[in-house]
Structures are given as structure tokens and as C-alpha cells.
């Protein structure tokens, strides 16, 4: 089968062996895989290693074969892949056996993938293959950050810097679904327009003076994954005692912040990452109930996967990038 792999420091499309389902496993014939920032960062982390790795965490397709003992799905079922490995029940942090699909295990940029039958869920019927293929990792991350850690509720005001990020598009949709007010920022005028169209209530230019612009707003919750470029400014717009949830640091991991202002403000800072299978199921129920459609910016073919990586690195996308297998 054809796969997009990393080996000897290079990214390329290559023929690799078809996977076979062992006991408790399924082979999924993938229609679409979804690109995440993690995929773009992994080649650097792996360096020039000779081991071939199929990249990719997100995907959706049809069950092609099942191994002995599999009863929860059958050949022909339409499924999405849960990239959060071995994290079943909701918990404050993932268990030590947790990993993300796509390293060290082979990922989804391939015509087929083999994985435990516990890692697939029924594809929501209202989604296209593209929408289903880009859903799981970002939507699960956004769901846990917003609901489990952020404890958002109807009538709250949520502030999200970096509106165009894949996760941010889900955050906007989920928060609006439950009746929260959403404030976003973006550096790009076109992304500001798209955020408005998606339902954001207030859209700020990232370069503007946020405290001045939001003088009449009470921000209950900040969800920031931009990192160093926005962390302190995000904290400035948060109400005293409010929550700030971090699950990424696109610009830089390290920030200086004023501890005295932080403890006097009685702010609450939460780290979050991905989510459990229990949260994935809750997220799928949420998008079914609200008939939410993921925002797909562009679709590339598997042969053009390297172009999809370049496109994500350019940062022009609003929402998710899909890779079609056929």
C-alpha cells in the first residue's frame, strides 16, 4: 500500500507492506487523514533515523478486516480513529501508558492502518469523509480544554487568541453551541472574517490593545495555545479569579509572568492535552446533537502530502487540512 513516511530525515510517499489485523485489532481502509501541528514537528524530533514511520494521528475510513475476538465493529463499518491511545476513563491527567497515534506507532497517512479495535468509533453520519478525517485530535483537545478543564457554561465569556488554529475553530463552535460568548483574535483580516462567520461574537486584531478593546467585557475563561506571544496579554484580559487553560505553545514554550499579580488576581491556570476515550465519546455526542461541521480549509491528495505539510507551516489555514487517500 501507499503511505507518506519519514525515514533517513526525509518525508516521502512510499510503498509499504499492507497491515494485518492481529487478535483484538482491526484494519481500517482510510479515506481521509487529518493534518496536525504535531505531524509537522515530528520529523525534527526524529532527525535522520533510518526507521520508517508512517506519520499522522487523525483519520476516517471503513473497517477492512477484523482480528480474532473483535465484536464491537465489523467489516464495512464507517469509523473515525481515536488518536489518544490507551486513555479510557476521564482523569486529571493521562495514564502513563498513554501515547498519541503516529509515533511511535505507525499513523494515518496511508491507505490502511492496523490498530486496536478499542481505538475506533462510529463515524457521525452528518459528516463528510473530509470532516470526519480531520475531527478527532483537535476536537478532542478543544473539548477537554473547554469543558473538562475550562468548565465553561452557558452565559460565560471565553477569550481565544489565534482564531485560525484548527483547535480554535472547534473551540469557537463548541462554546457557541452551549450559549457562551466568544471573543477571538487573529493577525489576519481574512481569518477575522471567517471567525465572525463561524459565530465568534467579538473579533480583535491580535496587534490591538486588548484591555482597551475589552474594557466593558468580563472574560471568565481564556483558552490560549499560541504561547509566549500571547500568554501575558491573555492573562491581562481575564477577570480576577478566572480560569486560563493552556494546551499548546505555537510561538514558544517559555514565558515570564508576574507571580504577585497572578496570586493577587487569584487566577487559575490549567494544563490540558488531548483527552480520554470517554471525552471523545462525549465530544462525538456533542457534534451529533448540534450537527457541528469541522472547518476544512483545504484537501490534498496523499501524493501531495508534503505540500500539505508546507501549507500548515506557512500558517495561512483557517481550520483543518485534510489528506485524501484516493
Ligand X SMILES: NC(=O)c1ccc[n+]([C@@H]2O[C@H](COP(=O)([O-])OP(=O)(O)OC[C@H]3O[C@@H](n4cnc5c(N)ncnc54)[C@H](OP(=O)(O)O)[C@@H]3O)[C@@H](O)[C@H]2O)c1
- Contacts to ligand X by CB under 6 A: 36-38, 137-138, 141, 162-167, 186-188, 191, 206, 225-226, 229-230, 247-251, 273-274, 315
Quote the least distance from Cβ 145 to ligand X, whole Å: 8
Tell me which residue of 136, 210, 144, 204 sits closest to 171, measured CA to CA.
Answer: 144
Instruction: Pick the closer one to ligand X by CB: 267 or 311.
Output: 311
13 touches 1 (CB < 8 A): no
Q: How far is the CB of 118 from ligand X (least distance, A)?
A: 19
Q: What is the 3-state secondary structure (H, E, C) of 100-151?
A: ECCCCCCCCCECEEEEEHHHEEECCCCCCHHHHHCCHHHHHHHHHHHHHHCC
25 vs 185, which CB is nearer to ligand X?
A: 185
CB of 127 to ligand X, least distance (A): 19
Radius of gyration (C-alpha) of the chain in whole angstroms: 20
Answer yes or no: are the C-beta atoms of 99 and 105 closer than 8 Å: yes
CB of 326 to ligand X, least distance (A): 25
Pick 247 or 300: Cβ nearer ligand X: 247
Contact 144, 275 (CB under 8 A): yes
Least Cα distance to 93 among 311, 272, 218 occurs for 272
Distance of closest approach, residue 226 Cβ to ligand X, in angstroms: 4
Distance in Å, CB of 35 to ligand X, minimum: 8
Helix (H) or strand (E) holding 153: none
Upstream peptide bond of 144 is cis (omega within 30 degrees of 0): no
Give the CB-nearest residue to ligand X.
248
Amino acid at each position: 500500500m501507499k503511505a507518506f513516511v519519514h525515514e533517513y530525515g526525509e518525508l516521502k510517499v512510499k510503498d509499504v507492506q499492507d497491515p494485518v489485523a492481529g487478535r483484538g485489532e482491526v484494519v481500517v481502509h482510510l479515506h481521509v487523514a487529518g493534518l496536525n501541528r504535531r505531524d509537522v514537528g515530528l520529523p525534527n524530533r526524529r532527525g535522520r533515523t533510518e526507521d520508517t514511520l508512517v506519520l499522522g494521528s487523525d483519520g476516517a475510513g471503513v473497517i477492512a478486516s477484523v482480528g480474532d475476538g473483535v465484536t464491537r465493529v465489523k467489516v464495512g463499518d464507517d469509523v473515525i480513529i481515536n488518536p489518544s491511545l490507551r486513555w479510557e476513563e476521564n482523569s486529571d491527567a493521562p495514564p502513563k501508558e498513554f501515547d498519541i497515534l503516529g509515533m511511535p506507532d505507525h499513523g494515518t497517512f496511508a491507505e490502511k492502518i492496523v490498530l486496536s479495535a478499542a481505538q475506533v468509533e462510529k463515524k457521525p453520519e452528518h459528516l463528510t469523509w473530509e470532516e470526519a478525517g480531520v475531527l478527532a485530535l483537535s476536537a478532542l483537545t478543544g473539548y477537554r480544554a473547554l469543558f473538562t478543564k475550562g468548565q465553561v457554561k452557558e452565559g460565560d465569556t471565553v477569550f481565544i487568541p489565534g482564531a485560525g488554529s484548527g483547535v480554535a475553530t472547534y473551540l469557537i463552535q463548541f462554546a457557541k453551541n452551549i450559549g457562551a460568548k466568544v471573543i477571538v483574535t487573529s493577525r489576519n483580516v481574512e481569518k477575522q472574517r471567517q471567525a465572525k462567520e463561524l459565530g465568534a461574537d467579538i473579533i480583535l486584531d491580535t496587534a490591538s490593545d486588548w484591555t482597551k478593546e475589552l474594557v466593558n467585557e468580563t472574560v471568565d475563561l481564556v483558552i490560549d495555545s499560541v504561547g509566549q506571544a500571547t500568554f501575558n496579554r491573555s492573562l491581562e484580559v481575564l477577570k480576577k479569579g478566572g480560569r486560563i487553560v493552556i494546551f499548546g505553545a505555537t510561538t514558544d514554550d517559555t514565558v515570564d509572568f508576574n507571580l504577585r499579580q497572578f496570586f493577587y488576581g487569584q487566577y487559575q491556570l490549567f494544563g490540558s492535552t488531548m483527552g480520554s476515550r470517554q471525552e471523545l465519546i462525549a465530544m462525538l455526542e456533542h457534534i451529533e446533537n448540534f450537527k457541528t461541521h469541522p472547518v476544512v480549509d483545504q484537501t490534498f491528495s496523499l501524493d501531495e502530502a508534503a505540500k500539505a505539510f508546507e501549507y500548515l507551516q506557512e500558517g495561512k489555514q483557517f481550520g483543518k487540512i485534510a489528506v485524501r487517500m484516493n
